[in-house]
Structures are given as structure tokens and as C-alpha cells.
A and B are shown apart, each in its own frame.
Chain A
Amino acid sequence: MSKMTLPPCQAACPIHTDVRGYVNAIARGEVEEAIRIIRQVNPFPSSCGRICTRLCEKACRRAQVDAPVSIRALKRFASDQTKGFKLHERPMHHYDEKIAIIGSGPAGLTAAHDLALFGYAVTVFESQKVLGGMLSEGIPDYRLPKDLVKEEVAAILSLGVEAKTGMSLGKDFTLEDLLKDYHAVFIAVGSQKSLLPKFKGVELSGIATAVEFLKKISRGQITIIGEKVVVIGGGHTAIDAARTCIRLGLKDVTIVYRRTLSEMPAGREEAEAAEKEGIKIMYLTSPVEFSGDGKVQSVRCIKMELGEADTSGRRKPVPLENSEFEIPADTVILAIGYIPDTEPLKESGLQLGKKGTVIVKDETGITNIQGVFAAGDVVSGPQSVIDAIASGRRVAEAIHSHFRKMPSKEVIDYASLETLNNNLVELIKKTERQKMPILPVQERISNFEEVDLGFSKDQAVREAQRCLNCAAGASIAMNCVSCLNCVRICPYGIPSPGKEIVSIDINQCQACGICASECPASAIQLNLESKEGVRAEIENIIDFARQETPEILIIGFYCRYNSPVGPPFDEDEVYWLGKLCSGRINESQLIYPFELGADGVIVSMCGKDECRFRSGNQWMTEHVKRAKRILSETGIGSDRLDIVSEEENFSFFRNRLEAGGMNPLRQGKKVKA
């Protein structure tokens, strides 16, 4: 097993999405690049952008400074802004092997997607009429609109994946049947069989399971369910069921959960949203009996307290003596847990576990039957969508390796970066996490309109710029001469003298880039900005500007952190280049435009005390001073370069430039007489 250190978000993500990469792309305003990065590993960006359990945000080191980056909302932004984006064309069938996938949830469809791209013929069998599994039927529209799931499913089918809906395992076909027609079968039927409590009254009518209830709603089979509803459970499904009831017009909805808000799997945000919609949540309460005359009429509950931690690490709820009480109920919805329904596989010879799960060798999903693979919730029990996607990806790899007789892909142990040093945390500028705009309660409780409205562009860019660019900072090449200049100028004191060359702790570097712009040996590289890349950027923008034949061609540099959404001001003849800190703008970048024929270069100064990296302004000013000297000595003229932060100063700069005429190095273009 080899080791790899990743940014915490990427290490935590089950599919190791290059979170930093796409967040940084959004920070630069390159949304298509962002979606390209996301889609490399995830065929469900729109769904994950809404309902992912966001392990990335839990790992985000920005939380040490203020609050984690709102990564999920950024993924949603990237996907919403790039509707119709297609990463892959329909691939050719390179191989003869045919693969059947049972179940069209995120695990099954992800595997179908990946296998189709490898070049296999894939057929997905789905018992329901619609594809998507729980994404389509188990999550209400106000959280995940069905149209979006449809679009993602359609994109997968467009790769040549065949889908057979209304085909139920055990009823319409068996595993043996599939093995006759297909070279491999992937079982991804999920975990949708509701667990029922083992106490009195559970057989009464008016008691439903949450998954069945949500499925009926999503199929439009709305049933009248009385006035008072009690939902039992604390997971997403419980809250989904309760909030759905409110949207059906019910006024009296109570959630009964045996632990407290801190242990609630649905999370604080969901619980608070439910309460705002008028749902009552009774914590530390557990049902003990349902009573009624043929039909449920009340739920008998007992109060709980938290005792010792159980195997899941959560404190176990213990009943409080003599605390029983009744809640009247016309309907009870149970959301206390799910197990896989593998009944139809019992006769197949497939090795099954106690709770109906399929037993597999390891992450490859290999089962005891040759050519049969299983993964996702049917193996693990209920987990998140992103876990299902991850298992689908791994099985697709495993099936490909199996057919091509390749060794299974090496398992990599992804380690995360260390936490930020406490003294460093103090030096990092705080910025508020953007709030997701939402539909007001009154506008949302009578319909299934999506509650979260998504970030505006301004919000998305600002939020993306909160990313600390973990491990994307400076790295030192062997041509370091140990001059120690970086050690002396780093605003965070990160570089330190080493035995041969200076070392920069990748765990702590804040990626301001000041050291790289000041390194006399050009031995410091910035992960997100190469020297060659910047030169190419300057060349491109000047090429572009030339096509527009402006009378005066001015290149403007500005700091994206200081002016997130775009250049600080608009002027026809200024072609702007955004930088992630003005301290990165070095003498070479200031001079190069003149070599290419630019008439002037301006740099926008960030406001006083506004530098995200403490000393960016100071270094930029220094670089401008030195570059002006070079321009003066060469005869180009130092007046062609200046710090111009506001529009008023710009007209002064422009007039001066006009008086001086065009850059004598500029060829072929006329300047206004």
C-alpha cells in the first residue's frame, strides 16, 4: 500500500475529488474548469451538490480559523452554471464482455458510467419505472429536484448504457439468468427494507415506513393520512418524511428521536429547517407502544437520558423510569433504519450476512460467485450517496481488472495534511462563510419547490476564495541557493533553513506566493501558478487585445481576493489579469507586457489592511518600483507603469500615456494622432 498526502478535503472525500482544484477554479471564475474537475470522478455533481454528507467540509482546515468552506454549495454552483456540459462523448465498445447491473441507484449507475467509458456494453436492471434509486424516489423534491436527477441519469445513458426498468430481481429474472447472458453481474440493489420496532401495535394500520411513504409521494400516489403525524427517527429520511407531511398540508407533525440534536444523523441545519417549518422535534424520547382500535391512535413514549458511549461511539440512550406519556397520532411514519432486501438472492448460492447484506472479499466487491460483484448499501447497509458512488467506482475498476487480467488497482492510503499551527491560525485573516439563500418558510411549506436557492456568482467566488489552498503553496526546487530570503520575508514565518536547501512546510504554507516572486534563484514554484503559465497568460491576453486593435493597449493586474468578482474598474483599453495576491506580481511579469508591445501596465493596489496575506501590497509596491527603474534604464520609460487603483487616477495615467505616445516596441498598430 502506498501513501499519499492530500489536502484534508480531498483525503476525506470517498472518491477523493480534487476539491481544492475545483474550488480554486471557481475562485478564478473558471466554472467550466471546475465542473470538468468534478466530473472526472463524479457523474452526479448536481445531486451531490445538494445532498452530499460533505465529509470534505468536516475536514476543512478553514474551520480552525473561522468556519469551513461551503464546498457542497460550490459544487452545486459549478453544476448549476454548466447545464448541458458534457465531459465525455459516447465511447466505442472496445471489449466483447457484457455486464449486467442490478439496481440503478448511485452505486449501480456510477459503475455503469465508468464501465461504459472503459468500453464495455452495460445493461442496468431496475425494478421501478424510473432510474436513480433513492436519488429519484427517496429524497423529496424540495431537497433534490427530480428533473436534475433525470438529467444526470440521462447523461449516463447517453454513454450507451442500456436500461431495463420494471425488471425485478426474483420476479422477472434471477441471478442465474443474468449469468447466462452476461459475463459479469454487479449487485447494487441498495438497502431499502425498513426495520420495524419489535413492540406492541406495530401491525396497526396507519403505520407506514418512511421510504415507502416518500416513494409514494414521489410517484404522485398521495394518500390522505389524517391530521396528526408522528415520525420516528433522527436520520435524513425521518426529517424528509416530516417536512413532506408539512408540504402536504398537515399542521401537526412531530418527530420523536431518542438522542439529542448533537447526535442526530440528519444534522443541525436540517433539524432547524424542519422546526422553522412548524415541525416539533422531541429529543430524548423513544416510542414504546402504538395503540389504537385497528388503526393507530396514539404513540406511547418514554423519556430517555444519555448513558455510556455505545459501539458507534455515540452515547447510548437509557429510559428514564416513570416518564411515559402519550402522543395522539393518526399516522406514524417509521424511519429507524434500513437493511438490504436480499430475499430474492437466498437461493442463488451467494454468501449473505446476518442482516441481509452481501458478503464481499474487499473493496473490489468480489463475491463468492465468480463474475458476481456487489457493493454500495447492499454490502455496507445504509450509507451516503457519495459512499455509494465511491463503491460503484471501485467495482467498475475491479470488473475491468478482472476481465483484462490486470492486477487490482493498488490501494492507496490517503493521509491528510496536519492541522494548522495555532500561532499561524492567529495570523490568517478571517472571512465569513457565505450563507445559502433559501426560500422563506411561508413560500415553501405549501409546495415542493427547492428550498436552497444556490449561491450567486458573487457569493460563489467569494466563498471559493475562502479556501486556504492547502498544500498548493510553495515548493522548493534543488536549485535553491539557501539565500534565506524566503525565510526572512514570509508573512507567516513558514520557510526554515534546511541542511542543504530551505524547507517550506507544505502543511502550513498559505500559498501567498510572495516568496516565489522574490526568490533570486527562481527556485520556488507555486502549485497553482507556474512561471510559464503566467507568461503564457500575458501572451494570450496581448494577442487577444491586438485583435481588438485598441488605440492604447494597457495590461492591468489586480488581486482577485481584493476584487473577487472581476477587475476593480472597467476601461476599454485595459486588459485585466487577476492574481491570487498582488504580492505575486513580480518585476518580470510587469516588464514582459512591454516586450510584447503593451503601451502601459497598471497594478491595482488593495485597500489598506485589506491584504489577505498581510504584506502583498508592500511587495507589489516594491516590485513596481524595481520594474519602473528597469523601464527607465532601457528607455521604455518608467511612466508607462504605475499603481492605479481608482478610475480617477486612471484618466491621469491614460493622459500621460497618450502624451508619451505608444510603446516604441509595439509593431503594426497605429496610435491615435
Chain B
Amino acid sequence: MIVAEIKPFVEIKNIIKDCKKVLVLGCGSCVSVCMSGGEKQVELLASAIRMAGKLEGKEIIVGEKTILRQCDPEFVEQIKDEADNYDVILSMACGAGVQGIVKWLNKVSVLPAMNTRFIGMADGQGSWTEVCRACGDCVLADTGGICPVTTCPKGILNGPCGGNKKGKCEVSPDIPCAWVLIYERLKDLGKLDDMKKEVAAKDWSKGLKPGRYSIKEKEEEKVRKD
């Protein structure tokens, strides 16, 4: 899932400084799961905005709302009428959510309350690690299921490099060497020989931005090729 974190409050305060009516809009998907943009955080941010506003002598009307996903037009539609009552929607979704609101509610300004970080997985209560870079050409089959493109700061496809010290990366002692992890994993699987295989050069064009995926277009492309 997508992991995002809330922006420093001073930054949020600054971007909404001219707004009188703010709708703090939570997202009930990824950012709720990573505990940064769900209903609870909406309540706290709204409260903080009200208080900070009052301190500056401003009466800001702050609405609170959470929809299931901000990256789907049907869910965004649910707040269409309510949105008219506000100057701005302060989105607590990932960047996709913010832009979803921008796209489907085109008459209201939308501002981000979050910094979108990465695609990650939970590694304990309240913490997440990036594990996928969405490169478009997955190599996990060749690397024991551990992604070197994401986990190795250099993205080396045939590692390890010479910068590995006691299983840690030379970039930071907090980062485990992806290729040591891959080695250990293959050893556990009894497939150490795979280490000798060369991972072929990746098709980096698949990661061309902006990424796009359409089932219909994909089918048409297949038909064309056949």
C-alpha cells in the first residue's frame, strides 16, 4: 500500500493562511492503514487548525469528512455538494487522492496535507518500510523475492557491490544490504546457485512517467500484436 505522512503543521498553516472555510478530507484507504490520514487524524488536524486560527484572531470554519478513497470519482462524488460550502479542501490522502479531488471537483481548490512517501509494507506496530518502486518490470522472481531496485540504494541488479560492510550498506549503517538479504533468502530456499545467474538488464521504459494502465488498451495492444 501507499505510505504517506502528514506535513509539518507550520507548512499546512501556511498553505491555508488565506482560507476561511476549510474541509479537512480524510481517505479511508492506504493512509488510514498507515495511521496518518484517517478519521482520527482528520479530527486532530481540524482541531489544530481551529485553534491556530483563533490564536491569530481568525474564525476559520473547519469541516471534517472522510471518504473511502479519494482516487476514485464515485467516492469523490459523495462530497460534491458539501464541497461547495468551502474555500478549500485540505486533502489527507496520498498524491493520487489529492489529484483525484482536483480532477473531479474542478471548481474548488485542493491542497495537500500529506507528503506521499512510498509503496510499503508494515514491519511492526506503527512502522512501514518501502519495498516496491513500481518500476514496471518486476525482477522478484530472480532475487529470492526481495527487491534490489528498492531495497538497494543503488538499485544494483547483480550485487552485492563492494560497499557492503557486515551486511549493511555503505550509504547508511541503518540500511541492510539488499544483496546480503537476497543471499540469505536463497540460502534458506536451498537455491544458492541462483546467485550465480545473471539478472538480465531491465526494461526501464516500462517505468516511464507518467505510468498508465488500462485493461482495455492492454487488450487492444495484444490484439494488434497477434
* A141-149, A397-405, A411-419, A627-635: which lies at the interface: A627-635
Asked if B134 is at the interface of the complex by the 8 Å CB criterion, the answer is no
Asked whether, in the complex, the Cβ of A483 is within 8 Å of the Cβ of B34, the reply is: yes
The residue from B40, B48, B66, B122 contacting A519, defined by CB atoms under 8 A apart: B40
Asked if B29 is at the interface of the complex by the 8 Å CB criterion, the answer is yes
Asked if B43 is at the interface of the complex by the 8 Å CB criterion, the answer is yes
Residues of A583-597 whose CB lies within 8 A of B: 587-588, 591-592, 594-595
- Assess A594 versus B51: contact at CB under 8 Å? Given A488-B125, A588-B44: yes
The residue from A483, A591, A664 contacting B32, defined by CB atoms under 8 A apart: A483
Residue from the set B28, B40, B44, B54 with the largest chain A CB neighbour count within 10 Å = B40
Closest A residue to B34 using CB positions: A483
A488 to B50, CA, bound (A): 32
Asked whether, in the complex, the Cβ of A521 is within 8 Å of the Cβ of B48, the reply is: no
The residue from A489, A520, A634, A664 contacting B41, defined by CB atoms under 8 A apart: A520
Asked if B139 is at the interface of the complex by the 8 Å CB criterion, the answer is no
Q: Which residues of B contact A523 (CB under 8 A)?
A: 39
Smallest beta-carbon distance B123→chain A, Å: 11
Asked whether, in the complex, the Cβ of B38 is within 8 Å of the Cβ of A522, the reply is: yes
Asked if A421 is at the interface of the complex by the 8 Å CB criterion, the answer is no
A520 to B92, CA, bound (A): 13
Q: Which residues of B contact A630 (CB under 8 A)?
A: 9, 44, 47-48
A479 to B125, CA, bound (A): 20
Asked whether, in the complex, the Cβ of B51 is within 8 Å of the Cβ of A521, the reply is: no
Interface mask (B31-62 → A, CB under 8 Å = 1, otherwise 0): 01111101111011001101110110000000
Closest A residue to B50 using CB positions: A595
Asked whether, in the complex, the Cβ of B32 is within 8 Å of the Cβ of A595, the reply is: no
A591 to B9, CA, bound (A): 15
- Assess A483 versus B33: contact at CB under 8 Å? Given A488-B125, A520-B41: yes
Smallest beta-carbon distance B120→chain A, Å: 13
Asked if B126 is at the interface of the complex by the 8 Å CB criterion, the answer is yes
Asked whether, in the complex, the Cβ of A482 is within 8 Å of the Cβ of B33, the reply is: yes
Asked if B10 is at the interface of the complex by the 8 Å CB criterion, the answer is yes
- Assess A592 versus B47: contact at CB under 8 Å? Given A521-B28, A521-B32: yes
Describe B's contact surface by its main secondary structure: helix
Smallest beta-carbon distance A635→chain B, Å: 5
Q: Give the total of B residues in contact with A, Cβ under 8 Å.
A: 28
Asked if A636 is at the interface of the complex by the 8 Å CB criterion, the answer is yes
Q: Which residues of A contact B39 (CB under 8 A)?
A: 479, 520-523
A480 to B10, CA, bound (A): 30
- Assess A587 versus B55: contact at CB under 8 Å? Given A483-B32, A485-B126, A488-B125: no
Asked whether, in the complex, the Cβ of B38 is within 8 Å of the Cβ of A520, the reply is: yes
Q: Which residues of B contact A41 (CB under 8 A)?
A: none
Closest B residue to A627 using CB positions: B44
Asked whether, in the complex, the Cβ of B43 is within 8 Å of the Cβ of A588, the reply is: yes
Residue from the set B32, B41, B43 with the largest chain A CB neighbour count within 10 Å = B32
Q: Which residues of A contact B10 (CB under 8 A)?
A: 633
Q: Which residues of A contact B54 (CB under 8 A)?
A: 664-665
Asked whether, in the complex, the Cβ of B51 is within 8 Å of the Cβ of A595, the reply is: yes
Q: Which residues of A contact B55 (CB under 8 A)?
A: 634-636, 664-665
Closest A residue to B33 using CB positions: A483
- Assess A636 versus B51: contact at CB under 8 Å? Given A481-B38, A522-B43, A630-B9: yes
Residues of A160-191 whose CB lies within 8 A of B: none
A630 to B33, CA, bound (A): 21
Smallest beta-carbon distance A211→chain B, Å: 64
A492 to B39, CA, bound (A): 25
Smallest beta-carbon distance B173→chain A, Å: 27
Q: Which residues of B contact A488 (CB under 8 A)?
A: 124-125
Asked whether, in the complex, the Cβ of B32 is within 8 Å of the Cβ of A634, the reply is: no
Q: Which residues of B contact A479 (CB under 8 A)?
A: 28, 39, 66
Closest B residue to A489 using CB positions: B125
Smallest beta-carbon distance A596→chain B, Å: 10
A197 to B173, CA, bound (A): 92
Asked if A352 is at the interface of the complex by the 8 Å CB criterion, the answer is no
- Assess A481 versus B28: contact at CB under 8 Å? Given A519-B40, A521-B40: yes
Closest B residue to A667 using CB positions: B54
The residue from B29, B44, B66 contacting A591, defined by CB atoms under 8 A apart: B44
Asked if A494 is at the interface of the complex by the 8 Å CB criterion, the answer is no
Residues of A482-500 whose CB lies within 8 A of B: 482-485, 488-489
Residues of A622-673 whose CB lies within 8 A of B: 630, 633-636, 664-665
Closest B residue to A479 using CB positions: B28
- Assess A481 versus B126: contact at CB under 8 Å? Given A521-B38, A522-B38, A633-B48: no
Q: Which residues of B contact A519 (CB under 8 A)?
A: 40
A485 to B38, CA, bound (A): 13
Asked whether, in the complex, the Cβ of B9 is within 8 Å of the Cβ of A522, the reply is: no
Residues of A347-404 whose CB lies within 8 A of B: none
A482 to B35, CA, bound (A): 11
Q: 6 other contacts beyond A479-B28, A483-B35, with CB at 8 A cut-off? A: A483-B34, A488-B125, A521-B39, A522-B39, A587-B44, A630-B47
- 6 pairs of residues in contact across A and B, judged by CB atoms under 8 Å: A479-B28, A520-B33, A521-B39, A591-B47, A630-B48, A665-B51
